[in-house]
Amino acid sequence: MELIARGLAREVSLGIVVVRADGRREDLGTVSYWHRHWWRRAAYVLTHLGPRPDGKRHGWRGLIRMLFDTTGATVFTHAGKAITTNRVKGAGTEPVNFGWGTGAGTAAAADTTLFAEKAVDLVATTGTRTAGTSTQQTTTQTNDTYQVVATRTATGAGTVTNAGLFDDVNLGSGNLYMKGDFTGIGLASGDSIQGTCKVSYA
């Protein structure tokens, strides 16, 4: 009962490594993060805080705004909760399918789609997502974290701004399990994104 009352997930994150067509690797680390406790969200904001465009220090108002606006950028969706309870009942499909989008927006738990989800050419809105490999990981308690790692390779050029996991491989179908938005990542044909999606339940 306590787990359900607290919204099931304790921590949700999206890590990205960009692998360029020439083999160069750019490990961006955790690009999108949410934690149930505000001080953990605050720590993430402070450690990922870039300079202001005008070179001045961030004021308290700006820091507070970033705490509440930026750290909601990764979500365990309402549909993800339904997927979880369905799987406990022995039904449904595992959400291992990794997709990406090119639109703008801040992820919210009520979202059912990515922002402008695209195929691997970064243009088409039909096609398939990339099936990842799922494992159980330990964050706080043994096997308390569901993790999917997937590598999606672009066949065209564009900027990826958000990504997530679905329980269906086809674009436009299935239920969104988790989602993260982040600063745009420019890709050329042949570049890949390796996404590591984690949802901790403890």
For tokens 């149930």, the residue is 36
Phi/psi for 76 (5° steps) reads -95, 110
Domain locations in the chain as residue ranges: 2-200
**Residue 70: predicted pLDDT:** 44
Q: Where are the alpha helices (DSSP H) in the chain?
A: 2-5, 38-47, 60-70, 78-88
pLDDT tens, residue by residue, 151-160:
999 999 999 9
C-beta separation of 77 from 176 below 8 A: yes
pLDDT at 128 over 90: yes
Region 133-152: what's the mean pLDDT?
95
pLDDT tens, residue by residue, 75-97:
899 999 999 999 999 999 999 99
**Residue 38: predicted pLDDT:** 55
